[in-house]
Chains A and B, each alone.
Chain A
Amino acid sequence: MRKLLSALLLAMVACGGSQATATSTTVVTTAAPATTEASGFPVTVETAIGPLTIAERPEAIVSLAPVATEMLAAVGALEQVIAVDDQSNYPTNVPVTDLSGFNPNIEAIASYQPDLVVISNDIDNMVASLQSLDIPVLLLPAAVTMDDVYTEIELLGIVTGHASEAEDLTEQMANEIESLVSDIEPPAEPVTYYHEIDPLLFSVTSTTFIGSIYSLFGMENIADAADPDGLGYPQLSAEHIIESDPDFIFLADTGFALQTPETVAARPGWAGMTAVTSGRVIPLDDDVASRWGPRVVDFVRAVAEAVALQPVG
C-alpha cells in the first residue's frame, strides 16, 4: 500500500512547481537516432531531468517505485528486472528486495550492478548519486494527466527495448478508457463525490491525477471547495462532507486503514448520508486508485461500474 506516499509525491509535484510536470508532459521521445540496428540501441530519450542515453538493452534493471514496476511488467520487460523495492507488490511475481525508494541506500542499490534504475521521486539526490557511479537513472515523476501516464509507459518501453509493446499497451489503455467512459450516459444533474485517501479525511481535488479520472465521468468533487490554493490534497472537516452530502463516497483507504462501507456508516453523523443510505460507498483498491500505471484502467472501470450500477436520482 503506497497510496499515501504516492499521494504525497503527487502533492510534491503539484506544489513543487509546474516546472517538473511541464517537463514530464512534454517528454520528447527522440528514439534511436542514428541506428537502424534491430535492437534499437543505443537510444537517447528526453526525460523529466534531461536526456538519457542507454547504450545497450538493459538486462539488470532495478525498480524503486511500485508504479514503475507495474509499468515494466506491463510492457514485457519483467525478465530484465533483477530487483524491485520493498513497496512493489504488483504483479506478485516480481523480485522484491529490501531496497527502498523512500530511504534509498545507494550502496545497496549499486551492489546489484544495475544497468538501469527506475525511480519516481528523486529522494536524497538519488539521481546524482547514481549518475556519479555511471548508473543510468530514469525518473518517472507523478503523472498529472493521462497523457503523462502514456508518455512514461512509452518512455519505459523505449529504454528497455519494448517500444512497440509499450505503444500497443497505451493504445489499448486509451481505447478501454474511452469505451468505459462512453458507455456511461452523461448525468443530467451533476453527480458529486468524495474520494477518501485516509480515515483522517484527507481527500483529493479535481486538479489531481486521481481527481481527473472522476472528471472523465463529469463528476463534481466536494473537496474542491476546501482547496483554494490548488495544492490538491486537503484535509476535509467531517461537517463539510456531511453537509455536502455527496452522491458517492469512494474509499481509497481500504488497505492498511481497513475502511469499509460499514465503518463509514458507523462514523458519528455519517449514517444518514445519501451515499451511505443508498449503498453508494464504493471501496477501491488503494494501490489501483493511487498509482499512475497500467492499472489506471482498472480504476476507471471501478468508477464506471459504480456509476453504472447505482444511477443517481
Chain B
Amino acid sequence: MIVSPPLARGVRPAPLALGFVALALAGLAGIALGPARLPVGEVLTALVDRFPAVTADHSLTSRQLDILWQLRLPRVALGACVGATLSVCGAAYQGVFRNPLVDPYLLGVAAGAGLGATLAFAAGGAALVPLAAFVGASGAVVLTYAIGNRLGDRANTSLILAGVAVASFLTAAQTFVQQRSSDDLRVVYSWILGRLGGGWNDVRLVLPYIAISAIVILLHRRLLDVLAVGDSEAQSLGVPVRRVRLLVVIAATLGTAAAVAVSGLIGFVGIIVPHTVRLLAGPSNRSTLPLSILFGAAFMVAADLAARTLLAPAELPIGVVTAFFGAPFFLSLLRRKG
C-alpha cells in the first residue's frame, strides 16, 4: 500500500486552527450550559480541579457534579465522536463515489439500522438496540455490496443503485414490523430522530470502532485524491482502485454503523459538514477528511447543546436540530461562496 504523506501537506494551518477553536468553543459551551442551571464559573473551576496536580475550590453539590460528570461531559464527548464520524464517513463516501450528494447512509446503513432497531424494540429487547442497529447497518451494506458487485463491473453506479434498492426494501420491512407491533411506534420514531443520552458507556462502546474507521479513512486520503481523476486513470497511475474503494467503504460503514448504534439516525451532518469544509479549505480529500473530523465534532456538540437547551427542560430530538439549523446555514454558505 502507498503510504500517505504527512498531514501538513494537505491541510492549511488557518482552517485547521479554526477547526480546533470551533471544537474547543463548542465543547466548553456544551459543558458549561444545559437545562440544569449549574453556575458556569463553578463548572469551569470544577473542570480545572479535575486536572491532575491542580486543586481548585468549587461549590458544586454532589448532585450537580453527577450532572456534570455523568450527563454533560459524556454527552459532549459522544456528540463529538458521532459528529466527527458521520462527517468523515460522509466525506469518505463522497470521495470514493465521486458524488457530492452521497451521505453516510447511502448504502443502506440507515435502513438497515432502522430495521435492526425496530426488530429489537418489537422483540422487547430495548437493551439490544445498539447491537441490532449495528448488525442491521453492516448487514445492509454487505447486501448492497454483494448485489452491486454482481450487477456490473463499474461498481460506482451499480453500487449506489443497489444501495437505493436495498434501502427501500429494508425500510418496507421496518414499516411492516412497526405496524405489526404498534406499541413501539413512538420509541422507534424517537430513536430514528436521534439522541445522545447514553453516558460514558456509549462513548466506550463506539470509540474503538470509530477510531479504526477514522484512521483507515485518513490513511487513504491521498489515494482518494488520485481516485478523483477517474477509475481507469487512477488504475493506470498504479492505484488498486477496487481494493481502495472496498477498504474505504468498509471503514466508513463500520464508523457509521457504530455512530448510528448509539445515536440513532442523525441526518444531514454527513453532507453539510464535508461540503462546508470544502468551501472553506478547497476540495482536496487530504484536507477535507481531517477537517471534517474537527468541524463535524464541533457542529454536533453545538447542535446537541441546542437540542438540550432550546426547549429546556424539555428536549428536542437532535436530528431535528441538525437539519433545521444545518440546512439554512449550509445554503447561506453556498450563496456566499457561489
Max chain A Cβ within 10 angstroms of own Cβ: one of B195, B201, B311, B314: B314
User: A-facing mask of B186-225, CB < 8 A → 1, else 0?
Assistant: 1100110001011111000000000000000000000000
Determine the distance from Cα of A236 to Cα of B191 in the docked complex, in whole angstroms.
15
B183 lies within 8 A of A237 (CB): no
Stretch of A53-61, A110-118, A133-141, A196-204 with 4 or more beta carbons under 8 angstroms from chain B: A196-204
Contacts of A235 in B (CB 8 A): 190, 314-315
Chain B, residue nearest A269 (CB): B70
In the complex, per-residue mask of A267-283: 1 if CB is within 8 Å of any chain B CB, else 0 = 11101110000000000
Interface size on B, residues (CB 8 A): 39
| A122 CB, nearest partner CB in chain B, Å | 16
Q: Could you tell me the distance between the alpha carbons of A268 and B197 in the complex, rounded to whole angstroms?
A: 9
Q: Is the CB of A256 within 8 A of B201?
A: no
A238 near B314 with CB under 8 A, answer no
Contact B126 A257 (CB under 8 A): yes
> What residue of chain A has the Cβ atom nearest to residue B71's Cβ?
A269
**B179–A103 contact, CB under 8 A?**
yes
B39 at the interface (CB under 8 A from A): no
B67 interface residue, CB < 8 Å from A?
A: yes
**A4-B184, A103-B182 are known contacts. Are A236 and B315 too (CB-CB below 8 A)?**
yes
Q: How far is the CB of B38 from chain A (nearest CB, A)?
A: 8
User: Are B308 and A199 in contact, CB atoms less than 8 angstroms apart?
Assistant: no
Q: Are B185 and A243 in contact (CB under 8 A)?
A: no
Contact A225 B313, beta carbon cutoff 8 Å: yes
Of chain B, the residue at the smallest CB distance from A201 is: B315
Contact in complex: A2, B183 (CB < 8 Å) = yes
* Chain A residues with CB below 8 A from B308, complex form: 237, 239
Mark B62-73 against chain A: 1 for CB-CB distance below 8 A, else 0: 111011011110
Q: A201-B315, A272-B66 are in contact. Are A239 and B71 (CB under 8 A)?
A: yes
> Is B70 in contact with A4, judged by CB distance below 8 angstroms?
no
For the complex, is B53 an interface residue (Cβ under 8 Å from A)? no
B34 at the A/B interface (Cβ < 8 Å)? yes
Q: How far is the CA of A268 from the CA of B77 in the complex (A)?
A: 14
Min CB gap A262→B, angstroms: 13
Nearest B residue (CB) for A245: B63
Please give, as numbers and ranges, the residues of chain B lying within 8 Å of A87 by CB-CB distance: 182-183
- In the bound complex, CA of A93 to CA of B69 (Å): 51
Q: Which residues on the B side are within 8 Å of A200 (C-beta)?
A: 187, 190-191, 195, 197
Give the residue of B66, B201, B314 whose beta carbon is less than 8 angstroms from that of A234: B314
Contacting A272 at CB < 8 Å: which of B63, B124, B183, B201?
B63
Q: In the bound complex, what is the Cα–Cα distance between A237 and B196 (angstroms)? A: 11
- Smallest beta-carbon distance B203→chain A, Å: 10
Closest partner residue, chain B, to A242 (CB atom): B67
Most buried by B among A240, A258, A268: A268
Min CB–CB distance A209 → chain B (angstroms): 18
In the complex, what residue of chain A is closest to B316 when comparing beta carbons?
A235
Inside 8 A of A269's CB, which chain B residues have their CB? 66-67, 69-71, 199
Residues of A within 8 A of B71 (CB): 238-239, 242, 268-269
B36 to chain A, nearest CB (A): 4
Q: Is A31 an interface residue (CB 8 A)?
A: no
Q: Does B1 contact A (CB under 8 A)?
A: no
Contact of A268 (CB < 8 Å), options: B179, B184, B186, B201 = B201
- How far apart sit A237 and B195, CA to CA, in the bound complex (Å)? 11
- The smallest C-beta distance from A117 to any residue of chain B, in angstroms, reads 19
Q: Is A90 an interface residue (CB 8 A)?
A: no
In the bound complex, what is the Cα–Cα distance between A102 and B186 (angstroms)? 13
* Alpha-carbon separation in the docked complex, A234 to B64 (Å): 23
Partner of B312, one of A201, A240, A272: A240
Q: Is A28 located at the chain interface by the 8 A CB criterion?
A: no
Q: Are the C-beta atoms of A267 and B199 separated by less than 8 Å?
A: yes
B67 and A237 contact, CB distance less than 8 A: no
B192–chain A nearest beta-carbon distance, Å: 12
Residue of B nearest to A2 (CB): B183
Say yes or no: A5-B35 contact (C-beta < 8 A), given A258-B126, A268-B200, A269-B66.
no
Q: Which A76-133 residues sit within 8 Å CB-CB of chain B?
A: 87, 100, 102-103
Question: Which residues of A are at the interface with B, using a C-beta cutoff of 8 A?
Answer: 1-5, 8, 87, 100, 102-103, 198-202, 225-227, 234-240, 242-245, 256-258, 267-269, 271-273
22 A-B pairs in the complex with CB atoms less than 8 angstroms apart? A4-B185, A8-B185, A102-B182, A198-B187, A200-B187, A226-B311, A237-B308, A237-B312, A237-B313, A237-B315, A239-B67, A240-B313, A242-B36, A243-B36, A243-B63, A243-B67, A268-B70, A268-B198, A268-B201, A269-B66, A269-B199, A271-B66
- For the complex of A and B, the 4 pairs showing the least CB-CB separation, nearest first, are A268-B199, A240-B313, A269-B70, A243-B36
List 12 additional A-B contacts (Cβ < 8 Å) besides A234-B314, A257-B187: A202-B186, A226-B311, A237-B315, A239-B35, A242-B66, A242-B67, A243-B35, A258-B124, A258-B127, A268-B74, A268-B198, A272-B66
